[in-house]
Amino acid sequence: MSGSNADQAEFWRSDAGDKWVAWQAALDRLMQPVLDGVLARANLMKGQVVLDIGCGTGASTLQAAEMVGATGRVHGLDISPTMLARARDRAQDMDNVAFIEADAAEFDFEPALYDQMISRFGTMFFADAVGAFFNMRKAMRPGAGMSCASWGAIANNPWFTYSAVAAKAVLGAPPAVDPDAPGPFSMRDPERVRAVLEQAGFEDIRVAVCPLDLTPQGTRRDVAELAVNVGPAGRTILHFNGTDADRDAISARLFDSYAPFETPDGLRVPAEIVFFQAKAP
């Protein structure tokens, strides 16, 4: 790997990967509405061969495997050995699942293997997005489809903004991050998504910006604790070597911030998601 992809690999192979494994169940529940949107658009069928890009701890891979059945196959690909170890553990009784530790931008895929590619938040971290999607497209059969999701506009995603504001109030502002650099919001602009896919050689490109509610499990206190550990607050705490008292102060602020999101059915955190689909020529 080179450039920012190497930086991303180091990030996900270290503290971030450990935290995602530790909070796997809570994160799967939080992001299930996003995965539902990806899979609904993918329209997976029995017998298909599917690639799951940035599969993480395996929730998307396992659900896709159920949809393609025993005659199909799903390959989950990720750069984090920590998260893949958890994914393999979860899939140990599934014969139609395999995992690949690799960078999708550079992996030497078997040509024309996959009927469908899916990704829940796994395609936002490439230093060269066009090159990465071009490399993935070579692994798709003619007419194969792709269904992915990325975060939308920063201001419309309080899961990130509230966490960042709470951490900044307690510890100060960490170094500024370019939102267009590899990271959660690099694919937030629908026109950029379309341009990247066109340049990578895809056809029948469809991009939809959709509001939906994330569905965290547990009380406001539980959700505040999750947000302190994963996302902008966790990164700010790590940067400033925050203490337990700092963590508690940030968690308390988040607890208050989430009050408007309480419903009789639990917390519902509004989000904006960019869903995009395309086909290989």
pTM of the model: 0.94
Residue 155 burial (10 A CB sphere; 0-12, 13-18, 19+): exposed
Q: What is the mean pLDDT of residues 43-67?
A: 98
pLDDT of residue 17: 79
What value, to the nearest 5°, has the Cα angle with vertex 274 and ends 108 and 28? 75
d(C-alpha 50, C-alpha 206), whole Å: 20
Q: What is the mean pLDDT of residues 157-185?
A: 94
What is the pLDDT, as a whole number, of residue 18?
87
Average pLDDT, rounded, for the chain: 94
When mean pLDDT is compared across 1-5, 61-65, 125-129, 190-194, the lowest value belongs to 1-5
C-alpha–C-alpha distance, residues 1 and 15, integer Å: 20
110-124, pLDDT tens digit by residue?
999 999 999 999 999
3-state SS of 220-232 is HHHHHHHHHHCCH
What percentage of the chain reaches a pLDDT higher than 70?
A: 95
pLDDT tens-digit map of 98-113: 999 999 999 999 999 9
In our burial notation (b when 16+ CB lie closer than 10 A, e otherwise), range 99-122 reads bbeebbbeeebeeeebbbbbbbbb
Average pLDDT over residues 160-178: 95
**Confidence tier at 6 by pLDDT (50, 70, 90):** low
Q: Tell me the pLDDT tens digit for each residue of 236-249.
A: 998 999 999 999 99
